[in-house]
């Protein structure tokens, strides 16, 4: 076949406006916002801009981040629990440097570092959990766990809890307990049934039909508003699942690796799951990493032998850099005894928040375990009623937590956010090395907000109107 010489010699050049990495890191805030509004999620960019959350952060270390103006912030959001070891921990960066010349992606081989990470996970997880599948995110870990449960059990039905959050991919979304995130994507994966969190009678009613592959739950509901299960709930769940031949999947994606004061939250109740999901802080705050781990027996039922070895795979799962970050993260958590630090400083934080609750009626509840803490607010009287826009009542239900988070960010330079399934709750999930002195700064900032809440919520009403006007213009 003859090749046209002019086509053969034609060079591919960078298009006008192409941004190099050197230019990318030198962009200003306005350029970053414009890129997001034009090429990414415009609605999200608008939402963050309304609360002045569209700052440009340029440096991070430990619990601190700095914006492009040089202002310093305390990060009490912690990437929703992904920063147990803090921002840019030097030992994680050193681990990446150690493997930088190794092949990162090479499927026709057995990953050297991935095998070591899997061995370490088997050593630190409870009971006889042994075989891991390493992936890239929490949603992937949940997807894999659900697939494994169906393959190993021969059953199809899946049970999950109301108020739960397990991810936004189609399978994980099917077992996520908030209709807002499900409605646009229906029909979801069939055979999924919800029960109230903490309701053993409702759970047994479904389990005794003996058609359920797995019951998936969080040992503390994160996006549900930092909900602690009733005493004795998890052990009884374990007993019921065993009784009716249902696999128990415990989602430790947000609670795991020290966050709640133990290495895994299920260990507070001495409960051993059949399958455990991990992610977030497994990547050391730097690399995307997730995993699910199960027993040798369950693994062999699902994927044992060469015939079934390729039923569930991932191109990037277990890549060298992510596995190296995972090993370093586990070393840091163990050697720095971060679970115990989380227990001690978490008790200190909850104690301080409880004092604020007793003092200020605006605070409806404070709850948590370790450094996974939520503050729930009462609706301020008259805020919605006095607003002159019909949407204000509905909007205030989704707005109050973000108002407090906005005040913490804009006035006190403290980063937090509300929980997705309960927007009247803001979460406090700092790196596990946080000090009591840093916690005191947050407690004082919250007291300043609560002490002046009348003026604050007067401004909030105006803010709600501005948001409604912005939506109307769109």
Catalytic option among 157, 280, 341, 461: 280
Comparing CA positions, the residue from 431, 436, 471, 466 lying closest to residue 77 is: 431
Q: What are phi and psi of 172, to 5 degrees?
A: -65, -35
| Strand order across the 157-161 sheet | 129-135, 290-295, 275-278, 247-251, 212-217, 157-161, 192-195
> Catalytic site residue 280?
yes
The 3-state DSSP class for residue 69 equals: coil
- 242 upstream amide cis, omega within 30 of 0: no
Helices (H) and strands (E) in the chain, counts: 20, 15
Residue partners of 42: CB distance under 8 A and separation at least 6: 36
In the residue annotation, 474 being an active-site residue is answered as no
300 flagged as catalytic:
no
Phi-psi sector, 191: left (phi>0), alpha (psi -120 to 50), beta: left
Sequence-distant (6+) residues with CB within 8 A of 235 are 269, 270, 271
Q: Residue 168 in contact with residue 174, Cβ under 8 Å?
A: no
Radius of gyration (Cα) for the chain, nearest Å? 24
Of the candidates 76, 133, 165, 215, the residue annotated as catalytic is 165
CB-based contact 211:150 (threshold 8 Å): no
Residues 6+ apart with CB under 8 A from 471: 391
Q: What is the C-alpha to C-alpha distance for residues 155 and 187, in angstroms, rounded to an integer?
A: 20
Token code pair at residue 471: 């939506």
Among the listed residues 76, 251, 456, 457, the single catalytic one is 251
Phi, psi (5° rounding) for residue 440? -60, -35
Put the strands of the sheet holding 417-419 in their side by side order.
363-369, 372-377, 422-428, 417-419
67, 84, 324, 363 from 220: Cα distances, Å: 32, 16, 28, 21
Which residues are catalytically annotated?
A: 165, 251, 280
């Amino acid at each position: 076949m003859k090749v046209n010489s002019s086509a053969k010699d034609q060079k591919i050049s960078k298009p006008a406006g192409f941004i190099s990495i050197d230019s990318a890191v030198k962009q200003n805030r306005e350029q970053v916002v414009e890129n997001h509004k034009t090429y990414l999620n415009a609605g999200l960019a608008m939402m963050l801009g309304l609360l002045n959350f569209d700052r440009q952060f340029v440096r991070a270390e430990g619990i601190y981040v700095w914006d492009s103006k040089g202002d310093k912030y305390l990060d009490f959001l912690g990437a929703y629990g992904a920063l147990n070891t803090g921002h840019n921990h030097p030992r994680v960066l050193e681990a990446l440097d150690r493997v930088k010349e190794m092949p990162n992606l090479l499927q026709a081989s057995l990953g050297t570092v991935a095998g070591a990470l899997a061995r370490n996970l088997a050593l630190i997880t409870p009971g006889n959990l042994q075989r891991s599948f390493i992936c890239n995110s929490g949603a992937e870990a949940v997807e894999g766990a659900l697939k494994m449960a169906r393959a190993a059990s021969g059953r199809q039905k899946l049970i999950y809890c109301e108020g739960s959050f397990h991810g936004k991919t189609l399978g994980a979304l099917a077992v996520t307990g908030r209709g807002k995130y499900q409605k646009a994507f229906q029909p979801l994966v069939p055979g999924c049934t919800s029960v109230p969190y903490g309701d053993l009678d409702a759970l047994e009613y479904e389990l005794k039909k003996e058609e359920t592959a797995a019951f998936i739950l969080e040992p503390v509901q994160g996006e549900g508003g930092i909900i602690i299960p009733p005493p004795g709930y998890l052990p009884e769940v374990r007993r019921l699942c065993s009784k009716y031949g249902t696999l128990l999947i415990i989602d430790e994606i947000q609670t795991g690796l020290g966050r709640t004061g133990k290495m895994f939250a299920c260990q507070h109740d001495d409960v051993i799951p059949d399958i455990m999901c991990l992610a977030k802080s497994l990547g050391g705050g730097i690399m995307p990493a997730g995993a699910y781990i199960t027993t040798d027996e369950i693994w062999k039922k699902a994927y044992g032998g060469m015939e079934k070895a390729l039923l569930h795979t991932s191109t990037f799962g277990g890549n060298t850099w992510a596995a190296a970050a995972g090993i370093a993260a586990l070393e840091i958590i163990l050697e720095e005894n971060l679970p115990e630090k989380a227990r001690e400083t978490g008790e200190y934080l909850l104690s301080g928040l409880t004092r604020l609750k007793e003092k200020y009626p605006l605070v409806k509840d404070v709850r948590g375990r370790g450094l996974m803490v939520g503050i729930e607010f009462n609706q301020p009287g008259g805020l919605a009623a006095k607003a002159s826009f019909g949407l204000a009542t509905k909007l205030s239900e989704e707005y109050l937590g973000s108002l407090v988070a906005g005040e913490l960010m804009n006035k006190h330079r403290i980063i937090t956010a509300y929980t997705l399934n309960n927007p009247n709750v803001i979460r406090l999930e700092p790196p596990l090395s946080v000090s009591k002195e840093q916690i005191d700064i947050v407690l004082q900032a919250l007291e300043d907000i609560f002490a002046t809440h009348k003026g604050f919520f007067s401004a909030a009403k105006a803010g709600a109107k501005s948001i409604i006007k912005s939506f109307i213009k769109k």
